[in-house]
Structure 1
């Protein structure tokens, strides 16, 4: 799943995850790619558009 405008990639999703994911997306700050805060749906997070490898790793840690 790709979440806009956040640019978050989510993976390993199943229908039962939908309510929690939608809640997190709707409550997340609505800042696009340059947003460097908390990852959305951390357990399903696979990356963010517009970041290089090191920036991705920094968000992961």
Structure 2
């Protein structure tokens, strides 16, 4: 696999991971509020730069 293809795959996987984290949080909040998850509560489009940094990997580790 070429370097560009590897970089693209890494960025796509990273974007997908951030989107999954956002969706998971949205579903948890919907559950707490009492709304059925999935009632129009899907993440669409690219996350903003601010939210991407919030849902990105952290430097914290679990021990």
Same fold (TM over 0.5): no
Q: Which of the two has greater helix per residue?
A: 2
Q: Which of the two has greater strand per residue?
A: 1
Ranked by relative contact order (alpha carbons within 8 Å, sequence separation 6 or more), the top structure is 1
Q: Name which one, 1 or 2, has greater alpha-carbon Rg.
A: 2
When the two structures are superposed, what TM-score results if normalisation uses the length of structure 2? 0.27
When the two structures are superposed, what TM-score results if normalisation uses the length of structure 1? 0.27
